[in-house]
Chains A and B, each alone.
Chain A
Amino acid sequence: MEERGRVAGELERLIDGGTPHKSAVASQVPMPPPRNPRSAIHAKSPITKELGEEDVGMEEVSVVIDGRQPSWLNGVELLEDAKWNKHVLPTGCKGIDILLGGGLREGQLTEIVGPSSSGKTQVCLHSALGVADVHLGVVLFLDTCNSFSPHRIAHMVNSQSDTLVKEGKEGRLKRIMSSILCHSLFDIFELLDVLHQLECKLKHQVKSSGNRIRLLIVDSISSLITPILGGKNSQGRLMMITTGILLKKIANEYNLSVLVTNHMVGGEGGSLKPALGESWKNIPHVRLSLSRDQGSNVCNVSILKHTIIASGRTAKFVIDN
């Protein structure tokens, strides 16, 4: 927040007509308070001597502004970006993949909501396994409720039919495990810290497709946020929205997919509704609802919200224990 204040202060100082840093030029000519700094460049000034100095001042302002804000795009550039950068990652659960038209999309935040033991962690582990197995990249698993279990992944690997004859089971397991980075956190501030560090690292790393992070999983983001939400205090919602926006920013700028899980709470009339309230509903791109009948292997998944597919569609998939 101090960074934003500093940026805002700098921006205001330059735009409101204060003297810029490089004051050698501007000290001779007082800079007029520009309402539209860029358009002043195109304006024809009658006094040619002042035109040059004003222009240089305006150029400086526009360079600073362009550096601070995200860039303007048009529809064609957006389509190109979606085609070349935003691929689809399969989750490994056939029902979900068919329902979503391929799987989790890079650049999008997907939320899985369900009551306890409805298979949310299984879906997360399956997706991590799927991405790590096919050499797609690295998976970062942020675990907030000790749900990550290497034994379960090993069990899943062993139970899948081994089509590769060359690589032994152990070698495959080793490769998969080394592509999944697991980090435990128990606090919303730790999560924000990790995300900021991740953002810095991604911003400065050299583009290499080998070890690129493709999938970021936060298992049970709701267990971090529900303790701070509630009542008239708005600080909790501030942290929740900040986390959501940061996740979406990382997903879009660095082309990775984010998967979070959420639990359910009691709603009116005794029905269950997703936790985290109304403000959270605007954050994820895709919201899926899982449910499982008692003692059965079959999970039902339905779409609560999706950017393209109509909500209400359902599918079933099998979870192996």
Chain B
Amino acid sequence: MTDADDPRAWIHGDESAKAMLARVLTERSFLLLPPLHRLPLRVGNVVEIAGPSPSAKSQVLLQAAVHCILPREWRGLRFGGLERMVIYFDLDCRFDVLRLSQILKHRIKEVLGSTNNFGHGVQEGSQEYDDELLLACMRRFLYIRCYDSYEFIAALKTMHSHAQTESEALGVGIQFLMIDSIGAFYWIDRASQPSPYGNCTRKIMSFQNLVESIVEEMRKFLEVQPLLVLASKSCIFFAGSSTTDVQRTPTTWSSEDRNQWRTSNKQIEKFLYREYMPSAWQAFVTHRIHLQVSDKCTYDRKYGTMPIYMSKWVQPPLNVNDQFAVGDGGIFLIT
């Protein structure tokens, strides 16, 4: 360390601003993936992706996961991934590993296909190429499934040591933490209150306290290892369920009216995306995006008619709505 006899060394900086910027930009690069491409997301951000049931939230998470586990370069081919590990908490228990491998294979084939056109001659061994690369990428994907809030908290407590052993084994760090459906146990935790066990001074595990413990565990982990947190949240309140809140104008029940009424009523939207997570979680989240499926469809010659999804940044509020669709290889924007 600095010698006490040389106070001048204290004044001279460790590195210049240019060097620091270069270092930070490579170590903590921005994430620019559709549909999250409007804002540069970095480690330390906590993004909440909210939407009603068929709105492609899990696809957004899978897309980001594939981008993270792909290597930057593999045997001379440039894939452009981050080559880091992803931790995926599956609270909804609906993760399908075949979908992840489908997106990954699609991306790999895209890159291999484009270089084949230049005649690099990788066709003979291309199948083994695929498998080896696929397995190398899949090793960087850490997954745990929790059926309960208590299992979730226990998993968060052991996450640090497990992640450390894995990253030492593979030699790469972690970049993303994904939670599929943070509100998966909302109804269970809200309605059930276990009786205080042992002495009565122990705090009751209400939903508020559970979420506070979850947020505290994540903050502790993020202090030691900064990550980008992507959490999907499903909307559990149907917009039309409470007739007293929504003003309905009497119209004829034709199908065109129904569509317009559904997509243009701001009040319904506010009810649909109503916040149900406690303030501890709301304060933890730094960015919010809302996804929705629209009524329009797009026609693609490869996939046929596909529904169009819309995305809107709510925090920080941007006035731009993006449209995207989901194909075999992931999400692509529709301009």
Which residues of A are at the interface with B, using a C-beta cutoff of 8 A?
1-2, 4-9, 11-13, 15, 35-39, 41-42, 62, 65-66, 68-76, 78-79, 81-82, 108, 234-235, 237-238, 240-242, 245, 248-249, 252, 267-271, 277-279, 281-282, 285, 304-305, 307-308, 310-313
CB distance A310 to B144 under 8 Å?
A: no
Which B residues touch A271, using CB under 8 A? Answer: 258
Which residue of the partner chain B has the closest CB to A82? B97
CB distance B142 to A74 under 8 Å?
A: yes
Q: How far is the CB of B94 from chain A (nearest CB, A)?
A: 5
CB distance B197 to A70 under 8 Å?
A: no
Contacts of B243-266 to chain A: CB distance below 8 A: 253, 255, 257-258, 261-262
CB distance B258 to A69 under 8 Å?
A: no
* Given A15-B157, A37-B157, A279-B236, A307 contacting B135 (CB threshold 8 A): no
Which B residues touch A66, using CB under 8 A? Answer: 158
Which A residues touch B146, using CB under 8 A? Answer: 69-70
CB distance B197 to A9 under 8 Å?
A: yes
Which residue of the partner chain A has the closest CB to B259? A269
CB distance A281 to B53 under 8 Å?
A: yes
Known: A66-B158, A78-B97. 5 other contacts (CB 8 A): A8-B150, A39-B164, A62-B161, A65-B157, A278-B238
For residue B107, CB closer than 8 A to chain A, the reply is no
Q: How far is the CB of A77 from chain B (nearest CB, A)?
A: 8
Cα(A301)–Cα(B107), bound, Å = 31
CB distance B93 to A248 under 8 Å?
A: yes
CB distance B150 to A282 under 8 Å?
A: no
CB distance A79 to B138 under 8 Å?
A: yes
Cα(A37)–Cα(B140), bound, Å = 24
**Across chains A and B, which 4 residue pairs bring their CB atoms closest together, nearest first?**
A75-B138, A38-B161, A5-B194, A9-B197
Interface centre among B94, B238, B297 (most CB of A within 10 A): B94
Cα(A15)–Cα(B217), bound, Å = 13
Q: Is the interface of A mostly helix, strand, loop or mixed?
A: helix
Which A residues touch B45, using CB under 8 A? Answer: none
CB distance B197 to A305 under 8 Å?
A: no
Which residue of B150, B160, B190 is within 8 Å of A36 (Cβ)?
B160
Which residue of the partner chain A has the closest CB to B248? A268
Which residue of the partner chain A has the closest CB to B205? A8
Which A residues touch B148, using CB under 8 A? Answer: 4
Which residue of the partner chain B has the closest CB to A13? B198
Which B residues touch A282, using CB under 8 A? Answer: 53, 92, 94, 181, 184, 234, 236
CB distance B202 to A70 under 8 Å?
A: no
CB distance B143 to A252 under 8 Å?
A: no
Which residue of A11, A270, A307 is within 8 Å of B154 (Cβ)?
A11
Cα(A311)–Cα(B308), bound, Å = 11
Can you sample 26 A-B contacts with CB below 8 Å? A2-B194, A2-B195, A4-B148, A7-B150, A11-B150, A12-B202, A42-B161, A70-B155, A72-B155, A72-B158, A73-B144, A74-B140, A76-B135, A234-B190, A238-B187, A240-B187, A241-B188, A245-B147, A268-B258, A278-B53, A278-B235, A278-B236, A278-B238, A282-B184, A307-B94, A312-B297
